[in-house]
Amino acid sequence: MTASASTSSASSAYAHAVAARVRDARDRIAAARDRGGHGQDVTLVAVTKTHGVEAVRAVAAAGVTDVGENRVQEAEPKRAECGVPLRWHLIGHVQRNKAASAVQFDLVHSLDSDRLATALNRAAADAGKQCEVLVQVNVSGEQSKYGVAAAEVAALAERLHECSSLKVRGIMTMAPFDAEEALLRQVFADARACAHTLRAAGHDASVLSMGMSGDFEIAVEEGATHVRLGTMLFGERAG
């Protein structure tokens, strides 16, 4: 077998493996949605951080239309190389000096402060566009996580009306790793309540981004509309 044939065979095997994992994820999402009874549509966001452009192409071939990245600088070359129209999600912490690049994403999941809102709003206005954002809420209060406290969401929601170039679509949160089911459910239910707070303030907050490879089924049962899956689809991080 030639080197090129061997590479092609390995690429095909990888794509087939990813496709099988996507099918499994979709089946589990559908079952969890039925158990939860919220009746929501659920978007699978394939998180390709630390994985190469071949991961993006593999999930796209499996019918996934939404891809998430943690860092602007890692996403940009993949967006340029993948050659497939996708919705790109920025799910990691955004530094204010990266605001101009961040607003080029279809959805920014990590609006976590007034100062970042101001920076994103200015960058979006300069680009002549509206930037769709999620308010990141640190429901569990972990020091290691970014996000506003649940008690601060109402005040931030009012201030966000001043950011005319931002469209507030909902809430994002991360639950504690390895938490027991009762705590996971409480975190996700509290995030759902934060989305209600945004809607009460007049924002179109229909998105609940919560749940990753280890807890997405519980998140869907609790109303998640977007789940962020990386390890389940691609294995452990490449770096």
Each residue of 142-199: pLDDT tens digit? 888 899 999 999 999 999 999 999 999 999 999 998 899 999 999 999 999 999 999 9
237 band by pLDDT with thresholds 50, 70 and 90: low
How is domain 3-234 classified at the CATH fold level?
TIM Barrel (3.20.20)
* Per-residue pLDDT reduced to its tens digit, 77-87: 999 999 899 99
> What is the C-alpha to C-alpha distance for residues 129 and 131, in angstroms, rounded to an integer?
6
Residue 5 has pLDDT above 50, yes or no: no
Query: pLDDT grade, residue 3 (50/70/90)?
Result: very low
Report the interhelical angle of 53-61 vs 72-82 (nearest 10°).
Answer: 60
Q: Where are the domains of the chain?
A: 3-234
Please give the DSSP secondary-structure letter assigned to residue 148.
B
The fraction of the chain above a pLDDT of 90, given in percent, is 88
H-only helix segments in 46-151: 53-61, 72-82, 99-102, 114-127
The whole-model pTM stands at 0.93
Is a pLDDT exceeding 90 seen at residue 138?
Answer: yes
Quick: pLDDT tens for 142-152.
888 899 999 99
